[in-house]
Amino acid sequence: MTNERTPESIAKLSKALSMEQVEKAANEEWKELMYDIIWAVADKTEFFTTDDVCIYYRALPEEGRPDTHEWKALGPIMRNAATLGYIERTDYFRKSTDGARRHNAPLQIWHSLIFGGRKHASEI
């Protein structure tokens, strides 16, 4: 097995390190809330994007709602929610409802693995 550094392998490593860095920099209370929101959205919606997670977040009362300076951490949090078994990636993408903020990058569509009532660990 060779240890070649291809542009693809360097890009993949760079992305992984960046995602790890932004997740570490995010507010801990915000991260906990985002996992709860992902669970809530996945419980009610079989297919969704991070736009749906953000809409749910913005609908919460501002008072007492934790925020973070590093919203890019939502990507790693979604990945971690997949590892926890809440959701899984699909092969599909759609345009963001907030295209300008995201530079018109397509949004990953996620599939809920808990749609329709699987109990959250805090409810057991």
Taking alpha carbons only, the member of 84, 81, 69, 70 closest to residue 108 is 81
What lies within 8 Å, CB to CB, of 5 at 6+ separation is none
Beta pairing partners, 14: none
Q: Give the tens place of pLDDT for each residue, 21-68.
A: 767 778 999 999 999 999 999 999 999 999 999 999 999 999 999 999
In contact, 38 and 76? CB cutoff 8 Å:
no
Q: What is the reported pTM?
A: 0.80
Residue found by looking up tokens 């949090």 in the block? 77
Q: Give the tens place of pLDDT for each residue, 69-80.
A: 888 899 999 999
User: d(Cα 45, Cα 116) in Å, to the nearest integer?
Assistant: 8
Comparing 11-20, 49-58, 108-117, the range with the smallest average pLDDT is 11-20
Instruction: Calculate helix-pair angle for 50-59, 28-44, nearest 10 degrees.
Output: 110
Domains along the sequence of the chain with CATH: 7-116 (1.10.10)
